[in-house]
Amino acid sequence: MPDDPGPSDHPASAAELAAADSLISAWAAEELATNPVMKAVDRAEPGEAPRWYIRVAGEEKDTFTIWLTLRQRTLHYETYVMPAPEENHGAFYEHLMRRNIKLTGAAFAIGLEDAVFLHGAIPVRTVDDTALDHILGLIYATVEQCFRPALRIGFASRFK
């Protein structure tokens, strides 16, 4: 007899997706009003997948946008970290891969035009304020810790 699939193995119901959508919107509005790191929150156009664009003010990286996308099974999150390196490619990617080992809930990845992204996902059924706080904190802290060192490796001649 096959194992019973876990809750994330099935698509969320329309009601679960609507509840997650409302929860994310309410959380984002509250954070925008109370969290000085958050500078703006926008939504995707009606008819597109539910998506939030959260503009964040950093210190090492002045600003960046976290994209939250609600899918049938997961809430996917990602941010653009930086373009592909101009030099020291091996050392640059080694640096990020070594950082990946210490991350839980997100990973560095190569995206369009070989740009570096940080991304992750959680099951829709686990979305709550605590999970959203964790996602925001995880992405913020990781970008702040990794941005300048990666920049100095992949764009070293610009710092001379």
Domain extent listing, the chain: 8-159
Quickly name the fold that domain 8-159 has.
Yope Regulator; Chain: A, (3.30.1460)
What is the band of 58 on the pLDDT scale with cuts at 50, 70, 90? very high
Query: Could you tell me which residues are beta bridge partners of residue 52?
Result: 43, 68
Per-residue pLDDT of 81-126, as tens digits, reads 999 999 999 999 999 999 999 999 999 999 989 999 999 999 999 9
Nearest to 49 by CA among 74, 28, 71, 16: 71
Task: Show the tokens assigned to 81.
Answer: 């970290």
Averaged confidence pLDDT in the chain: 93
What is the percent of the chain where pLDDT is above 70? 94
pTM as predicted: 0.90
Contacts (Cβ under 8 Å, ≥6 apart) of 121: 71, 74, 75, 76, 77
Per-residue pLDDT of 7-23, as tens digits, reads 556 899 999 999 999 99
Q: State residue 5's pLDDT score.
A: 45
CA distance 32 to 93: 34
Nearest to 24 by CA among 51, 44, 4: 51
